Amino acid sequence: MRQKEKIIKELHIGCGGPRPVKAPGGAELHCKGWYQEAALRMLCNNLDPDNGENPDELIVYGGLGKAARNWECFDAIVRTLLDLENDETLLMQSGKPVAVLKTSKSAPRILIANSNLVPRWASWDYFHKLDRMGLMMYGQMTAGSWIYIGTQGILQGTYETFASLGQKHYQSDLRGKIIVTAGLGGMGGAQPLAVTMAKGVAVCVEIDQSRIEKRLKKHYLDTQAPTLDEAIAKAQEAAKNKTPLSIGLCANIADILPAMLQKGFIPDVITDQTSAHDELNGYFPRGLTFAQALQLRKAEPEKYKNMALDSMALHVRAILEMQKRGAVAFDYGNNLRAQAMKRGVDNAMDYPGFVPAYIRELFCRGQGPFRWVALSGNPEDIRVTDRELLRLFPEKTKMANWLKMAGEKIEHMGLPSRICWLGYGEREKAGKLFNDLVREGKVRAPIVIGRDHLDCGSVASPYRETEAMKDGSDAVADWAILNCMSNVASGAAWVSFHDGGGVGIGYALHAGQVTVADGTDESEKKLITVLRNDPATGIARHADAGYETAIRVAETKGVKIPMVNMC
């Protein structure tokens, strides 16, 4: 009881307004079980000032991606988790706790649904109407499912993309190549470090100076240039010397790309990771200062949205022109191309999304993001898991290189965490390993295991994860729902299902799952089951679409797939 009262006091539960939030650490429980405790700590971790973009507004990342609907809901979530029994399940409706059901010990402790709308009404305008009425919040992907781990969460996926790009286009890494991109927020902030890890040179344009400073402080970004000319000069010098370097430039990308074209500067690679999916809260129109844009956003939202869409059209036309002049162009899943099409850029899809271009082959093998967090709060626990994973998978040299770079270059944000991409059959082994580490006392507290919703079988997103599917099933959302239900049936600690994600309302449906390694036999069974079945749905999804790699993996790995009409 004292621990419960302590955490209520530390989190200022009941004060009703913004307050600093930090996840508790240590091995002592505040809740009635480690599944509830893990959810409590991860909810708080999402809002850690080191982690969340705007925690006072409960915004974690990606424009409006929130952890709770409002502060009263946050308080209610915390109180409910503290009292939740080990045979009960909390129901969350768009950031608001709405019911506690008597279920069973084998059932998930929390079921989360965020920003899901009936398709006819699934638009930003209708979402904003409900949001203003206090009936909904935007969950993004890992914001509203309480498994955000800071910019590191997308870092390896970004690194995998750039590494694959180098192999595909240059038969090597990105040494001596210049990449131009924009956006240094919660997702885009991974880009500079991912590029330098792939040995390239990055020019990262960001209109918000505070984001540049945050990435410099956390060593995701190497340096900042005061002007475009200096940014280009620094990039060209580093590329000439084949020295990895990331350069921040405080400006609007919709102003910078036309200026680059005018100067005749064409990078080797052009992409973007602004929050273009949300024309009101995520993207900044050209011709305005940062402060002017924020003022206009509140004063005249319709004018702001029109200006933002116009800027996106110019932005995409500039990317297409750079592609025409020899740059490798790809979309990083922020719906920029579809937004530009609203303004008449009919050929916006002439450059591909990153999944069909660089990632789909990994998805066919059941590969995807595997992330974990040390609930103790002690970074040594992550060092232990890194070391033990290397022992478990000595043949995975790419993973070994990644973990070495991550250990040297990544500063933890909030609770210590790590991510690496693992495939079918590997995730369950890693889950058992972590449970053994907890059981044997080699780490100081349980470990929470989750993933991005961006995974091999958990998303239906025709402009991102399921773009250009072989059988034309890009918009079929059944697979994401089946993934969600299979994770509930398999015994995940908590499961979520969202509309929107990185591409916006109406453009994607996606599921997330989280498991907990607490050292018990019951958790071991759940970990093995969830971490086996979760990627299996990805192999099934791609095998059904006719991908030969997925069919072969299913046959060799024992994923049972009824071959009804493979075509």
Q: Which residues are catalytic?
A: 420
Residues shown for the chain: 567
Distance CA(417)–CA(400), nearest Å, equals 16
Please report where in the chains the tokens 């930090």 appear, as a residue.
22
Query: C-alpha dihedral over 48, 54, 58, 59, to 10 degrees?
Result: -110
Q: How many CB atoms lie within 10 A of CB 447?
A: 29
Using alpha carbons, list the distances in angstroms from residue 237 to 244, 266, 325: 11, 15, 21
Distance CA(151)–CA(188), nearest Å, equals 8
DSSP 120: G
With CA atoms as reference, report the closest residue to 275 among 53, 434, 118, 539: 53
Alpha carbons within 13 angstroms on the beta-carbon side of residue 110 total 39
Strands (E), 384-438: 417-422
Longest Cα–Cα distance in the chain: 67
DSSP 3-state of 136: coil
Specify the amino acid at residue 285: P
DSSP 503: G
Cβ neighbours of residue 231 closer than 8 Å, sequence gap 6 or more: 203, 225, 247, 249
Cβ(470)–Cβ(510) under 8 Å? Answer: no
Cβ(40)–Cβ(34) under 8 Å? Answer: no
Distance CA(154)–CA(164), nearest Å, equals 15
Distance CA(416)–CA(379), nearest Å, equals 5
Distance CA(476)–CA(509), nearest Å, equals 10
Cβ(244)–Cβ(199) under 8 Å? Answer: yes
Distance CA(336)–CA(315), nearest Å, equals 9
Strands (E), 375-485: 417-422, 447-450, 459-460
